[in-house]
Amino acid sequence: QVELVESGGGSVQPGGSLGLSCRASVYTDNFACMGWFRQAPGKEREGVARITMRSGSAVYADSVKGRFAISRGTARNTVYLQMNSMKPEDTAMYYCAAAPQSCPVGVVGRSSDYADWGQGTQVTVSS
C-alpha cells in the first residue's frame, strides 16, 4: 500500500509564502499524476494543482494560478507545492494525492480521479 506523507504546513500572514512537501513510500514515477487538494471547514475538497510525473506538466485551479507552483523533487519520491502571495481564503487542510494510471486531462481533477491520499497538513493564512 502506498503511503503519502505531507509536511510544511503552518501559519502565515496574508501575502506570505509556505512550501509543502509530499513524500511517497515509493518512487513517484510509479504514478501517472500527483496532485494537491485542499478542504476548508464546511466546504468540499477542491483540487489545487496536479503534475504529470513523466513530463512535469502542471495544471492549476484558477484560484491559485500564478501564485502556487507544483514541482517534482529530485529525490524521485517527493512532490512540492510552493505557495506565494497567500490569501486568507487559502486557509485549509492540504492533501497530497496520487493517480497511478492516468491523469485528468487539462484539469486538476476530482478526488475520485486519485487513488492514494495523505493525511493532510493544515495551512492557516491570517493576520
Local confidence band at 15 (pLDDT 50, 70, 90 cut-offs): very high
Task: Read off the pLDDT of residues 17-61 as tens digits, 9 standing for 90 and up.
Answer: 999 999 999 887 889 999 999 999 999 999 999 999 999 999 999
Q: What is the pLDDT of residue 122?
A: 98
Q: Cell 485542499 sits at which residue?
A: 38
Are the C-beta atoms of 6 and 21 separated by less than 8 Å?
yes
Task: Read off the pLDDT of residues 97-123 as tens digits, 9 standing for 90 and up.
Answer: 999 999 998 899 999 999 999 999 999
Are the C-beta atoms of 20 and 26 separated by less than 8 Å?
no
Q: What is the pLDDT of residue 108?
A: 93
Residue 112 phi, psi dihedral angles, 5° rounding: -70, -10
Are the C-beta atoms of 72 and 98 separated by less than 8 Å?
no
